[in-house]
C-alpha cells in the first residue's frame, strides 16, 4: 500500500492482469473442482446484497427475509423436520466443525467415528477440538462398512459421520443403516452432504438407485450441504441443519451490541449476499432446473467414463454420481503434465489416481479434448 495511493486505472489494470492468470470455469478445463461457475442470477443477487451484514440483522431485514426463505426451501429439499433449524455457514469445513462441536456438547466423549473417505475438514475439526479420529473401513464401492462403524462405537464416541457424496469418488454411504446403528447406540449422526446434497435428490429423481441420506432418515441429527458446490451459488455458501433446533443452544453466546441477542455460529459479521444469491438460484432453477443440471452432468460423466475405458484408463469404480477416478502410473507427474497443457485435475489419494469432477462447466467437447491429451501425459516416464 502506497502512502498516497494509486490511480484507479492502474489498480484496474493490475486486477485484470491478475485475473487473466486464473483459469475460469468457463474454459471447461477445470476438471478437479467440487465447485462450479455460479449461476448468473446468483451473481446478480450477490451484487445487490454485497454490503449487507447479517451479523446485525436489523440493518438488513430484506436480506434476513431471503435468508429465511432460502433455509426454508433447502429444509424442504432435505426434509428437515418441523422442530429443526438451519444456519448459513461458509461451507462444508465450517459445517463439519460446527456439527462435531454440537455433538460434543450434546453427548460428550473424545472420539469421532468416521469413514476413511471423510474430507480433511474432519481432521481439522478433530485436531482443533482435541478429539481422536476413529477411522472405519471403506468397501470396494467407496461407501463405509457400517458393521465396522458399529464395532468402533464406544463410551467415548461423541458422534459418527456419514458421507453423502464422498470427495474422492462421489460415493453415498448407507445413511439409513448408519442411522439405525447410531439411534440404537444413542450417538449423534452427522451427514456430510457438502457436495452430494445438490446432486443426490436430483439423481434419484432421474432413477439412480441411491440410499436416502437426508434429515428424514431416522438417526440423522445434523446435515451439512454446500450451495457453493453443486447448488451453483457463489463462494462462500454453506448450510448446516440440526434436526432439533435446541442443539444449537449450547454454542450460542450473548451478542450484546448487535441486534440479535445470541449467536450460535462462528461468524460475527457475516455476508448477506450468500443467502440472497442462494435463494435466487434455487428459486429460479427449481427442482426441474437442478434435475436438468444433474442430468447433463451424469451424461457427460458417462461419456468420460467410456472414453477413459477406451483409452486404457478404466474408472476405478463405476461412477456413483458425477465424479470419475482412474488410475495412472504416477498420478502427481500426470497431473503436472496435464497442468502444463492447461488441464487442471485433482489427485485421488485413496485410490492412487486422478479425479475428474464433472460439474456443469465441464462440457462434452471439453471431455473429448481432454481424452485426446491424456495418454501422452499419463504414460510412465
Binding positions for ligand PLP, rule: CB under 6 A: 34, 91-93, 96, 119, 121, 163, 167, 192, 194-195, 226
Q: How far is the CB of 89 from ligand PLP (least distance, A)?
A: 9
Report residue 170: phi and psi, to 5°: 75, 20
Q: How far is the CB of 35 from ligand PLP (least distance, A)?
A: 8
Q: How far is the CB of 365 from ligand PLP (least distance, A)?
A: 26
Angle between helices 364-378 and 273-310 (to 10 degrees): 60
Give 10's contacts (C-beta < 8 A, 6+ positions apart): none
Q: How far is the CB of 61 from ligand PLP (least distance, A)?
A: 28
Give the DSSP H or E segment for 163. Answer: strand 157-163
Cα(69)–Cα(65) distance, integer angstroms: 6
Using the minimum distance from each CB to ligand PLP, give the nearer residue, 167 or 351: 167
Contact criterion met (CB below 8 Å) for 315 and 309: yes
Q: How far is CA 71 from CA 60, 145, 213, in A?
A: 17, 32, 18
Using the minimum distance from each CB to ligand PLP, give the nearer residue, 322 or 374: 322
Q: How far is CA 234 from CA 45, 180, 295, 363, in A?
A: 10, 36, 21, 20
Q: Is 35 helix (H, G, I), strand (E, B) or coil?
A: coil
Give the DSSP H or E segment for 221. Answer: strand 220-225
Q: How far is the CB of 360 from ligand PLP (least distance, A)?
A: 16
Q: What value does the CA radius of gyration of the chain take, rounded to a whole number of Å? A: 21
Q: Which of 369, 273, 251 is nearest to 38 (CA)?
A: 273
Q: How far is the CB of 276 from ligand PLP (least distance, A)?
A: 19
- Return the C-alpha cell found at 60: 438488513
Contact criterion met (CB below 8 Å) for 315 and 170: no
Q: How far is the CB of 312 from ligand PLP (least distance, A)?
A: 28
Q: Is 190 helix (H, G, I), strand (E, B) or coil?
A: strand
Using the minimum distance from each CB to ligand PLP, give the nearer residue, 163 or 276: 163
Using the minimum distance from each CB to ligand PLP, give the nearer residue, 66 or 199: 199
Using the minimum distance from each CB to ligand PLP, give the nearer residue, 194 or 377: 194
Using the minimum distance from each CB to ligand PLP, give the nearer residue, 192 or 214: 192
Using the minimum distance from each CB to ligand PLP, give the nearer residue, 32 or 289: 32
Grid look-up 462450479 returns 36
- Return the C-alpha cell found at 228: 457453493
Using the minimum distance from each CB to ligand PLP, give the nearer residue, 190 or 337: 190
**Which segments of the chain does DSSP mark as H helices, in order?**
8-20, 40-49, 61-77, 92-107, 121-129, 146-152, 175-185, 200-205, 273-310, 331-340, 364-378
Q: How far is the CB of 122 from ligand PLP (least distance, A)?
A: 8
Amino acid at each position: 500500500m502506497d502512502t498516497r495511493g494509486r490511480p484507479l486505472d492502474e489498480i484496474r489494470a493490475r486486477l485484470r492482469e491478475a485475473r487473466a492468470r486464473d483459469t475460469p470455469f468457463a474454459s471447461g478445463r477445470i476438471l478437479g473442482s467440487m465447485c462450479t461457475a455460479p449461476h448468473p442470477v446468483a451473481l446478480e443477487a450477490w451484487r445487490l446484497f454485497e454490503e449487507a451484514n447479517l451479523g446485525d440483522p436489523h440493518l438488513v431485514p430484506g436480506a434476513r427475509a431471503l435468508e429465511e426463505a432460502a433455509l426454508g426451501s433447502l429444509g424442504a429439499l432435505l426434509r428437515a423436520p418441523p422442530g429443526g433449524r438451519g444456519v448459513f455457514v461458509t461451507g462444508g469445513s465450517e459445517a463439519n466443525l460446527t456439527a462435531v462441536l454440537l455433538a460434543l456438547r450434546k453427548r460428550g466423549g473424545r472420539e469421532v467415528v468416521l469413514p476413511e473417505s471423510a474430507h480433511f475438514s474432519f481432521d481439522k475439526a478433530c485436531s482443533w477440538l482435541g478429539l481422536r479420529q476413529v477411522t472405519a473401513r471403506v468397501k470396494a464401492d467407496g461407501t463405509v462398512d457400517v458393521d465396522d462403524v458399529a464395532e468402533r462405537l464406544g463410551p467415548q464416541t461423541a458422534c459418527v459421520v456419514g458421507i453423502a457424496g464422498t470427495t474422492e469418488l462421489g460415493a453415498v454411504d448407507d445413511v439409513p443403516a448408519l442411522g439405525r446403528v447410531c439411534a440404537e447406540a444413542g450417538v449423534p449422526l452427522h451427514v456430510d452432504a457438502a457436495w452430494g446434497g445438490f446432486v443426490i435428490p436430483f439423481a434419484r429423481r432421474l432413477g439412480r438407485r441411491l440410499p436416502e441420506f437426508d434429515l428424514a432418515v431416522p438417526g440423522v441429527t445434523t446435515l451439512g450441504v454446500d450451495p457453493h458446490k453443486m447448488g451453483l451459488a457463489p463462494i462462500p455458501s454453506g448450510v448446516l441443519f440440526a434436526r432439533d433446533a435446541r442443539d444449537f443452544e449450547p454454542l450460542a453466546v450473548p451478542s450484546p451490541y448487535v441486534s440479535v441477542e445470541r449467536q450460535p455460529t462462528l461468524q460475527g459479521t457475516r455476508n448477506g449476499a450468500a443467502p440472497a444469491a442462494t435463494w435466487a438460484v434455487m428459486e429460479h432453477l427449481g427442482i426441474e432446473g437442478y434435475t436438468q443440471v444433474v442430468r447433463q452432468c451424469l451424461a457427460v460423466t458417462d461419456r468420460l467414463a467410456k472414453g477413459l475405458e477406451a483409452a486404457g484408463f478404466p474408472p476405478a469404480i463405476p461412477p456413483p454420481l458425477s465424479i470419475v477416478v482412474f488410475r495412472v502410473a504416477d498420478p502427481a507427474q500426470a497431473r503436472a503434465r496435464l497442468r502444463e497443457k492447461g488441464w487442471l485435475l485433482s489427485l485421488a489419494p485413496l485410490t492412487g489416481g486422478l479425479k475428474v469432477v464433472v460439474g456443469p462447466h465441464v462440457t462434452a467437447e471439453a471431455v473429448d479434448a481432454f481424452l485426446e491429451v491424456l495418454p501422452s501425459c499419463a504414460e510412465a516416464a
